[in-house]
Amino acid sequence: RQEYPGDFVFDYKDPVTLGRFIMEGGKISPARISKLSLAQQRRVADAIKRARSLALLPLGAPAYDQTGRPEATSAKPFTY
């Protein structure tokens, strides 16, 4: 059973949702663990990489030791 429908858009500006697909050491969890289809896994990996490049998510294992998980500030992701 999938939690996200096939046409769900993983937004790089929503670090809380993307944080669910990152393991303890900062690695992106594989599709067999995250229960995503191959296309969804590709989209979530691209969104995580984009969020990391914009410093919305920490990069690498030492950063996760210091910062931890992103905090949920609101139910909706922020917009510009």
pLDDT 10s digits, 23-53:
887 889 999 998 898 999 999 999 999 999 9
**Residue 70 pLDDT > 80, yes or no?**
no
Which residue did the predictor score with more confidence, 77 or 21? 21
State the pLDDT at residue 46: 95
pLDDT tens across 50-68, in order?
999 998 888 776 666 666 5
State the pLDDT at residue 8: 85
> What residue spans of 1-80 are helical by DSSP H?
15-19, 31-34, 38-53, 61-67
pTM confidence score: 0.74
Looking at the DSSP bridge assignments, the partners of residue 22 are 28
What is each CA distance from 3 to 20, 41, 64, in whole angstroms? 12, 13, 25
